[in-house]
Chain A
Amino acid sequence: MKFAIALFSPPHAPSSRRALRFAQAVLAGGHEIVRLFFYQDGVHSASSNVVCAQDEVDLPREWREFVQTQQLDSVVCIAAALRRGVLNDGEAQRYSRTAANLDAPWELSGLGQLHEAAQLADRLVCFGGP
């Protein structure tokens, strides 16, 4: 089956880790992920600036490595990201901000990408909250 997975929570929320473990199980089960879409506070799960204690799970790094290793289409909603201060180089320059905190493999795009993923997928599974 084809899955679209949408994440609505930041990396310190248990649901962000749960979404990653679910996504890993999707692929391990022989299914396909058509897109990951990060919305609302989920944009923080793509931040390159989160610093984790050495004895804690580094979830942004785990998400990044998962996306890169599996070569997944991974989109962060631009409107949600901007209002939460998650910017790539282009947006940081556009809005004259001092720093960018969103790197590859994440792409900034609009809600159309969420809708397209939902249309392409057999299942849309969302994660958020605790």
Chain B
Amino acid sequence: MSKSLLIISRQAPWSGPGAREALDIALAGGAFDLPIGMLFLDDGVFQLSGAQQPASLQQKDLGANLQALPMFGVEALYVAQRSLEERGLQDHPETLAVERLDDAGLSALIDRYDQVITL
């Protein structure tokens, strides 16, 4: 049985390649049919905001690649409730089907996975 891997993505979308490179790990894992989960925490929650226009920065649309997660079999997607609230995003719907977790839920989530990468 395959080991499960949780990727915790903490970087804002347009602050360098961090957000994209975290997503790439998730997509690669999905492509190999591995059990992958992804959690958006701290500034990582900004990746899920709507109405972003990355073309203004001559950046590729990260949001489009995020939408590919379920297509690659990565459907265990989570977002930290506290991180949303700290950033005033709790009333904004996310652009991706994610489950909101409180601190206890985050703790339990990490516990369920065999391995974790937090970047």
Please tell me if the beta carbons of B28 and A115 are within 8 angstroms of each other in the complex: yes
Closest to B29 in A: A115
List residues of chain B with CB under 8 Å of any chain A CB: 2-3, 5, 17-18, 21, 24-25, 28-29, 31-32, 34, 115, 117-119
- Tell me which residues across on chain A come within 8 A of B28, comparing CB atoms: 110-112, 114-115
**A residues lining the B interface (CB < 8 Å):** 6, 8, 39-40, 79-80, 83, 110-112, 114-115, 118-119, 124, 126, 128
Q: Is A118 touching B17 in the complex (CB atoms < 8 A)?
A: no
Majority DSSP secondary structure for residues of B touching A: mixed
B3, A119: Cβ atoms closer than 8 Å:
yes
- In the complex, are the beta carbons of B119 and A128 less than 8 A apart? yes
For the complex formed, measure the closest distance between the CB of B22 and the CB atoms of chain A, giving whole angstroms. 9
Which residues of A are found within 8 Å of B21, using beta-carbon distances?
Answer: 39-40, 80
- On chain A, the residues within 8 Å of B18 by CB distance are 40
Given contacts A40-B21, A110-B28, A112-B28, contact A119 B2 (CB under 8 A): yes
Q: How many whole Å from A14's CB to the nearest CB in chain B?
A: 17
Which residues of B sit under 8 angstroms from A6, Cβ to Cβ? 117
| Cross-interface CB contact of B119 among A8, A79, A115, cutoff 8 Å | A8
Query: B24–A118 contact, CB under 8 A?
Result: no
A119 touches B34 (CB 8 A): yes
Q: Are A112 and B115 in contact (CB under 8 A)?
A: no
Leading 3 A-B pairs by shortest Cβ distance: A111-B28, A124-B115, A115-B29
**Which A residues are CB-close (under 8 A) to B31?**
112
A-B contact pairs, 23 of them (CB 8 A): A6-B117, A39-B25, A40-B17, A40-B18, A40-B119, A80-B17, A110-B28, A111-B24, A111-B25, A111-B29, A114-B25, A115-B5, A115-B28, A115-B29, A118-B3, A118-B5, A119-B3, A119-B34, A124-B5, A124-B117, A126-B117, A126-B119, A128-B119
Which residues of A sit under 8 angstroms from B5, Cβ to Cβ? 115, 118, 124
Which residues of chain B have C-beta atoms less than 8 A from A118's C-beta?
3, 5, 115
